[in-house]
A and B are shown apart, each in its own frame.
Chain A
Amino acid sequence: SQQGEEDPQALSIQEGENATMNCSYKTSINNLQWYRQNSGRGLVHLILIRSNEREKHSGRLRVTLDTSKKSSSLLITASRAADTASYFCAPARSNDYKLSFGAGTTVTVRA
């Protein structure tokens, strides 16, 4: 498995604003997943995007994937206090059953 690197390390925004974070990886992949972790909790699966997809939406989340640049972005629109969490990406090949996580992006949404 390979590890993604999230950027920025931390992000502080006002409620209602959008939050964008990026993930870069090194080798070719078949899919990339984004997870959220609230403080002191396990990870919650947010979205999976496959290598043949460029963009995917789920509610207020928008994920893009650029395989030529080996990068992905996660956009949270109209942020809420409940979006305060750490966000992790997990790039993987189809035969990777294990996941590796980077340091994540810690998002703080201020009321």
Chain B
Amino acid sequence: GAVVSQHPSWVICKSGTSVKIECRSLDFQATTMFWYRQFPKQSLMLMATSNEGSKATYEQGVEKDKFLINHASLTLSTLTVTSAHPEDSSFYICSAGSTPGLAVNEQFFGPGTRLTVL
């Protein structure tokens, strides 16, 4: 099956620093990747859609200058949380989709990255 990895699995940083999270599709090429954020005991909220070779599409209310997304290759997308603050502490999950033979909206999720900003 399709495997998506995320790195790091958890990170603790000081307020004001930037943190980069990587999302990789290991055994397939993903033209589209998605970034979600999940607060404790809540559902996943889509932050942005990342397309290889083009600018990401952000959901309403998500600051694109704060959450920088780069999708430089068909197997790697990165999310950089710039000038992180304690309210950015959350569980960040990526997913990849659009593999041939599957439904256009079937997605494979990474294991998530727990970000804690002190």
Q: Which residues of A contact B (CB under 8 A)?
A: 1, 30-31, 33, 35, 40-45, 48, 50, 88, 90, 92, 94-104
Partner of A31, one of B44, B105, B108, B112: B105
B112 CB contacts on chain A under 8 angstroms = 40-42
Cα A67 to Cα B29 with chains together (Å): 33
What is the interface of chain A mostly: helix, strand, loop, or mixed? loop
**What number of residue pairs across chains A and B have CB atoms under 8 A from each other?**
65
Of the 9-residue stretches B67-75, B79-87, B91-99, which lies at the interface with chain A? B91-99
Partner of B44, one of A43, A48, A95: A43
Query: Is residue B117 contacting chain A, with contact meaning CB distance below 8 A?
Result: no
8 contacts between A and B (CB under 8 A): A33-B105, A40-B114, A42-B4, A42-B93, A43-B95, A45-B106, A98-B46, A101-B43
B110 CB contacts on chain A under 8 angstroms = 42
Q: How far is the CB of B90 from chain A (nearest CB, A)?
A: 12
Query: Is residue B107 contacting chain A, with contact meaning CB distance below 8 A?
Result: yes
A96 CB contacts on chain B under 8 angstroms = 104-105
Q: How far is the CB of A25 from chain B (nearest CB, A)?
A: 14
Q: How far is the CB of A31 from chain B (nearest CB, A)?
A: 5
A50 CB contacts on chain B under 8 angstroms = 103
Q: Max chain B CB contacts within 10 Å: which of A1, A40, A98, A100?
A: A98
B46 CB contacts on chain A under 8 angstroms = 98-100
Say whether B32 contacts A97, CB under 8 Å. Answer: yes
Partner of B104, one of A41, A88, A94: A94
Say whether A40 contacts B91, CB under 8 Å. Answer: yes
